[in-house]
């Protein structure tokens, strides 16, 4: 009776090599007894960092000593390539070896989740400060924002659920155009497979490989075989072995499956992006992660490029928490020629964002935050940061939105006094 350890022991290595070569479309080079190297199929490897060896437990293992640092046995590779569950991967390998009298391991793979077991993860994303201004990266962010916008605008019927979602939230076609809002199709999309931006950039990457580094550093693509991230079991199953180029095979669009809202600075330069799921579950908002960008996410103010001229005129600003709060006020204020609203993308004004606003010589701050604990704390923190008069909307009833309170008195914004509020 053969067992799971038996079918991946050193005795199987002569069968393992040609099988994995065919499975992953690679060619191994003999290094020494029971050791072979090849370019890693899970990232853009040109130095043969993918090693086959026998460990101290007499088990055939595969390890990448390059970018992805992956470590697998033969059944892990079958699970990755074929999208099979652990038990079926064992069976496939046993049958390849001609083993019929076999006892299955009823456990699970140590590193690969069962297919469809791990959903798309919720993952709040950190943000690394920039060390230097990189104009090429700013240009790449701008190109990506325009690409996602054009993709949404040219596929109104195909992405009907996105258009309907935005319409329900008061974001119509003119607003979509004005704010360059876009959409990144998900991995489940039959046409784009979570790689719409990557596919559009592939000719540039093939012409100039350095373009890939800019996309990666800008946080616009995701390495799918990164075992250190939350949801690795989900992302590694998105590796597409049917694609020959390592870039589109092993990477996906970072904001795949989300509406894309570009963030601009006061001079209308792209500073970053925020993605939002269509579903109201988990962590719906995702700030894109970048290694080197000119503006910290802490200073992001959504809508500042639209508000800056009016802020200087009225010396007043309305601070709201979320993007859809922002659009509610924007729709009201643009008709009165008083676009003095920005979203702080959270329930308080950061010191970095306060510095941006102080440069506009604002006198009056209206903190239109929700009347919950976070909102009230945000109002107090805004008062500390602002350096001006801070007005707030107290006494909100359950279910009442700040917009409902402020709408009737927007006419009081005159640039000189807000005592009516």
pLDDT given at position 311: 84
The domain in which residue 89 lies consists of 2-103
- DSSP labels for 2-22? EETTGGGBGGGHHHHHHHHHH
Q: Find the CATH number of the domain harbouring 292.
A: 3.90.980.10
Question: Does residue 124 surpass a pLDDT of 60?
Answer: no
Give domain status of residue 312, yes or no.
yes
Give domain status of residue 418, yes or no.
no
Residue 115's DSSP bridge partners are: none
Give domain status of residue 108, yes or no.
no
Give domain status of residue 121, yes or no.
no
pLDDT given at position 414: 62
Work out the mean pLDDT of the chain and round it to a whole number: 84
Per-residue pLDDT tens digits for 130-181: 434 467 888 888 999 999 999 999 999 999 999 999 999 999 999 999 999 9
Nearest to 257 by CA among 344, 192, 353: 192
CA distance 339 to 331: 9
Q: Find the CATH number of the domain harbouring 58.
A: 3.90.580.10
Q: How many CA atoms within 13 Å lie on the side-chain side of 165? A: 16
- DSSP labels for 233-246? HHHHTT--TT-SSH
H or E, element range at 355:
helix 351-358
H or E, element range at 150:
helix 135-153
225 lies in the same domain as 163: yes
pLDDT given at position 421: 52
In this prediction, residue 373 has a pLDDT band, given cuts at 50, 70 and 90, of confident
225 lies in the same domain as 77: no
229 lies in the same domain as 334: no
pLDDT given at position 296: 57
Q: Find the CATH number of the domain harbouring 335.
A: 3.40.1360.10
Whole-prediction pTM value?
A: 0.80
Nearest to 49 by CA among 35, 38, 34: 38
Name the residue with higher pLDDT: 367 or 388: 367
Count structural domains, the chain.
3
pLDDT given at position 292: 45
Name the residue with higher pLDDT: 395 or 95: 95
Give domain status of residue 17, yes or no.
yes
pLDDT given at position 11: 92
Per-residue pLDDT tens digits for 195-247: 999 999 999 888 888 788 888 888 889 889 887 777 778 888 899 988 888 88
Range with the poorest average pLDDT among 188-192, 235-239, 262-266, 297-301 = 297-301
Range with the poorest average pLDDT among 125-139, 222-236, 243-257, 406-420 = 125-139
Give domain status of residue 129, yes or no.
no
145 lies in the same domain as 234: yes
């Amino acid at each position: 009776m053969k067992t799971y350890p038996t079918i991946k022991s050193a005795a199987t290595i002569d069968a393992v090599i040609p099988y994995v070569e065919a499975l992953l479309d690679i060619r191994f080079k003999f290094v020494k007894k029971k050791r072979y190297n090849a370019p890693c199929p899970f990232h853009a490897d040109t130095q043969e960092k993918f090693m086959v060896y026998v460990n101290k437990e007499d088990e055939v293992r595969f390890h990448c000593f390059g970018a992805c640092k992956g470590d697998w046995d033969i059944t892990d590779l079958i699970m990755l390539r074929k999208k099979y569950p652990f038990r079926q991967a064992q069976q496939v390998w046993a049958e390849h070896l001609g083993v019929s009298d076999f006892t299955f391991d009823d456990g699970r793979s140590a590193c690969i989740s069962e297919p469809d077991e791990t959903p798309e993860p919720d993952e709040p994303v950190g943000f690394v400060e920039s060390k230097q201004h990189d104009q090429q990266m700013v240009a790449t962010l701008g190109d990506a924002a325009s690409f996602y916008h054009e993709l949404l605008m040219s596929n109104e019927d195909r992405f009907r659920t996105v258009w309907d979602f935005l319409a329900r939230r008061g974001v119509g076609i003119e607003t979509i155009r004005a704010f360059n809002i876009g959409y990144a199709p998900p991995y489940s999309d039959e046409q784009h497979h979570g790689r719409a931006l990557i596919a559009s950039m592939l000719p540039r990457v093939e012409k100039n490989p350095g373009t890939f580094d800019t996309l990666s550093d800008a946080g616009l693509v995701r390495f799918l075989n990164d075992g250190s991230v939350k949801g690795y079991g989900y992302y590694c199953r998105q590796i597409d072995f049917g694609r020959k180029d390592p870039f589109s095979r092993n990477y996906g669009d970072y904001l795949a499956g989300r509406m894309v809202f570009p963030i601009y600075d006061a001079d209308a330069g792209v500073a970053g992006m925020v993605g939002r799921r269509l579903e109201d579950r988990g962590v719906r908002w995702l700030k894109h992660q970048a290694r080197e960008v000119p503006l910290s996410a802490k200073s992001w103010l959504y809508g500042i490029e639209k508000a800056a001229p009016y802020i200087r005129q009225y010396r007043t600003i309305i601070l709201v928490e979320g993007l859809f709060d922002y659009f509610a006020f924007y729709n009201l204020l643009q008709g009165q020629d008083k676009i003095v609203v920005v979203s702080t993308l959270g329930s308080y004004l950061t010191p970095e964002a306060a510095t941006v606003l102080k440069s506009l010589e604002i006198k009056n701050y209206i903190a239109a935050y929700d009347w919950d604990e976070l909102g009230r704390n945000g109002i107090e923190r805004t008062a500390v940061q602002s350096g001006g008069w801070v007005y707030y909307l107290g006494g909100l009833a359950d279910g009442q939105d700040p917009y409902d309170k402020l709408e009737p008195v927007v006419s009081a914004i005159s640039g000189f006094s807000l005592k009516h509020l």
